[in-house]
Structure 1
Amino acid sequence: MDDLPFLDVSDPAFSTRGPQMRVARDAHWCARTPYGLAVLRYREVGRILRDRRFRQGSHNWPETVGISGSFADFWRDSVIGREGPEHQRLRALAVPALSEDYVLGLKPAFDEIAMNLCNDLRKSDHCEFQSAFCEPFAGRAITTLLGMERDAWPLVAHNAADLGLAMGINARKYEARFNKACETLFRLAEDLVVKVRNGQDSESYVARMVAQFDRNGDCTQEELLNTIVISIFGGVDTTRALLGLGLSLFIEAPDQWEALRADPGLIPNAVEEFIRARPTTTWATREALEDVEMNGQVIEKGTVVHLFVHASARDPSICEDPRFDITLKRRKHFGFGGGAHHCIGHFVARTDTASALAGLRETFRKIAYDGTPEWLPDSGNTGALRLPIRYELA
């Protein structure tokens, strides 16, 4: 292990897109970090995601960054923190509630939300994009999913965004904030379940979840609420962050924005390219359940491995040209994980992000930064804190 490259991912200045990572990836398929091993290459990331000798490692995140309280309890008990039969049981209940047919039925609503926000953008030639578009779009999309009034989006979006602070390397700095948000979202989930049981909601994702859980007598109320909260968290945080990251890619590659404006058929591939080039979650985590030998390297039982999904997507062995290019068909990325813990809400994220992008391409003719963006550290969960932009209207 001592001969492996070392990456200090706990340093807020470290980037999974940076030169240190590229040098380490050229030298070896894995590297040492303060949090365990980092896996840097495509082939090994894919192998470990599918290898049942590794369990989901994020259950240990609160201990890794030294946080405690309501978020830590929620995270360990969530479908993400469970493993084996317990994970499979909860996943089997959540997946049908987010079937592709159901999500596609929400697309007209996602399109309408995007166009309404774009109409507001047309009243000016500049904005702070995260607060003007990303957060209200993600918030209104999730309230639609939850069967809530769209005007309630600030409650959901702001608390989900605060919850996301727990997943960054600076988590301890925000502990009181995300614990309060966690408690607020659990109260909201409980209110939504009561609404379903009182016959006031029979069509939302929450109603579908309640029906799934009621059909399985082996599930508790706490498991139901936890699954709703993890869905809110993932649904808001992923879309909100991905839209800002994606727009920054277009600002830095204006030829790609021109390509998108010329061909709306590129929207699905653009969403995939966002996730490949600047994913909101820069690594997925696994933990070895036994000693595992891989490429001559022994990964000892209990070792935490961080699968650098961003680095793997740009691995030269599968990506000759790492530049952001929405016109190219790439190898499958691991931005939504893989194996038994593949993201349950991936199709929602792909669908609502596509709706947002469709509205934006009809609104902006040109886009540029209007000042310096402020970013979360480019490790763990990342995204824009502030993204000031100026634009010419289409």
Structure 2
Amino acid sequence: MSQQPEREPLTALPITRPEGCPFDPPAELAALREEQPLRRMRYPDGHVGWLATGYAVSRAVAGDSRFSSRYELMHAPFPGAEDITLPPAPVGDLTGIDPPHHTRYRRLLMGKFTVRRMRELTSRVEQITVEHLDAMERQGPPVDLVKAYAHPLPALMICELLGVPYAERELFQQHAMEAGSTQGTLEDQYAAMAALQEYVGKLVRAKRARPTDDLLSDLTGTDLTDEELAGLGSFLLGAGLDTTSNMLGLGTFALLTHPDQAAALRADPALADQAVEELMRYLTIAHTGVRTALEDVELDGQLIKAGETVTLAIQAANRDPARFPDPDTLDLRRKATGHLAFGHGIHQCLGQQLARVEMRVAFPALFTRFPTLRLAIPPEEVPLRADLTMHGVQRLPVTWDAA
């Protein structure tokens, strides 16, 4: 191994996005990627680990079983984490566990998220989409697209997947909206999350007593306990709702500020498949990942020692010109396959096919129904999410020329 020259560790993870560029990663990440795609970094708690900014090295870490996803082994990279010790993942949280526990859960779930099964849900996605576009048209402009469209679509599809009874879906959506909100207090968020988990626990018991045609009912026929089923249900809710909701909101914002791309999608709805992959790459809403080495690993001319944490700047990896030419340009005709926005390796997003189905339907339908859709406020006034783990918009006021 040819050792790269030793540099002083970075003093912090770059998190500040360029002024007036809400879709771009922090500019410092690109400079670091150009200079050294795997770089030493000091974490807020004093740990000296690594920051990966290049596509190849980030993909290699994400796909290597010698790196752990267990929360309790990680050092948190974000500001304010000086005294934070992460607890083990709650039961059912696939993101924070390793094999063999991860393997057991994922094997049980894989058959429920096949491409074929997700395509069967397309007609239901189309129906829900039309219902919400109709409601927007009846209400008339302006509307908050997050509240009217971006949030309820994935929320209702999660209801379909988990088998939430129709009479309870409004309450379920309310809890989900409050749990994902960044505008209330932490206490409000925790209370909403607790209410959701309690609800999913009741739902599991109901499915055991009287199974229906849904994912939770299917899983009651396995060896999973009620606690594991409730944990998996809560995990699927969090993983499938907040991410897709933010992609629909931020993706619409991106298209409205790139009118040539919106026009291309409107002119050719068949472009939807490529458009979704490019928006995922360009926006990379789940922008940062973390892994910890379980043993010494040689990578990119560096020796990562056992116990050292590696932060993956996925947003920088997805803008790496070595993998994606002209990466800072949003181009819906680009073949963006291979992006890391859904992750890579054993922790690649389990529900990615459902998310793709939702977005492939929702984006073209929105821009076709409202060809004059535009922002109702200046772009710089659109409120962005302030939390450190997920990029998105809090609200997206839009308007159009009503008939």
Letter paired with 2:160: T
Q: Equivalent residue for 2:3?
A: none
1-side partners of 2:286 and 2:346: how far apart?
17
Unpaired runs of at least 5, structure 1: none
| Residues 1-394 of structure 1 aligned to structure 2 (within 5 Å) | 2-9=7-14, 17-31=25-39, 32=41, 34=43, 36-58=49-71, 65=81, 75=90, 78-123=93-138, 124-150=140-166, 152-164=168-180, 174-199=185-210, 201-211=211-221, 213=222, 216=223, 219-322=224-327, 323-371=329-377, 372-377=381-386, 379-392=388-401
> Mean alpha-carbon deviation: is it higher for 257-266 or for 75-84?
75-84
Letter paired with 1:49: A
> Mean alpha-carbon deviation: is it higher for 14-23 or for 183-192?
14-23
Relative to structure 1, is the Cα distance of residues 202 and 128 closer, same or farther in structure 2, using a 3 angstrom cutoff?
same
Q: Determine what percentage of the aligned residue pairs are the same residue.
A: 25
Relative to structure 1, is the Cα distance of residues 195 and 62 closer, same or farther in structure 2, using a 3 angstrom cutoff?
farther
Residues 128 and 389, structure 1, Cα contact 8 Å, conserved in 2: yes
Residues 126 and 361, structure 2, Cα contact 8 Å, conserved in 1: yes
TM-score with structure 2 length normalisation?
Answer: 0.85
Relative to structure 1, is the Cα distance of residues 374 and 153 closer, same or farther in structure 2, using a 3 angstrom cutoff?
farther
Relative to structure 1, is the Cα distance of residues 99 and 74 closer, same or farther in structure 2, using a 3 angstrom cutoff?
same
Letter paired with 1:24: L
Residues 150 and 249, structure 2, Cα contact 8 Å, conserved in 1: yes
Unpaired runs of at least 5, structure 2: 1-5
TM-score with structure 1 length normalisation?
Answer: 0.87
2-side partners of 1:74 and 1:5: how far apart?
28
Q: How many residues align?
A: 381
2-side partners of 1:74 and 1:265: how far apart?
40
> Mean alpha-carbon deviation: is it higher for 112-121 or for 349-358?
349-358
Residues 140 and 150, structure 1, Cα contact 8 Å, conserved in 2: no
Letter paired with 2:65: R
> Mean alpha-carbon deviation: is it higher for 360-369 or for 332-341?
360-369
After superposition, the CA RMSD in angstroms is 2.9
Letter paired with 1:79: L
Residues 235 and 349, structure 1, Cα contact 8 Å, conserved in 2: yes
Residues 88 and 96, structure 2, Cα contact 8 Å, conserved in 1: no
Higher helix share: 1
Per-residue deviation, residues 331-352 of structure 1 (Å, max 9, x unmatched): 4101111111111111111111
Per-residue deviation, residues 238-285 of structure 1 (Å, max 9, x unmatched): 111110111011011100111001111111111111210112200222
2-side partners of 1:60 and 1:163: how far apart?
26
Residues 52 and 313, structure 2, Cα contact 8 Å, conserved in 1: yes
2-side partners of 1:141 and 1:186: how far apart?
18
2-side partners of 1:73 and 1:49: how far apart?
19
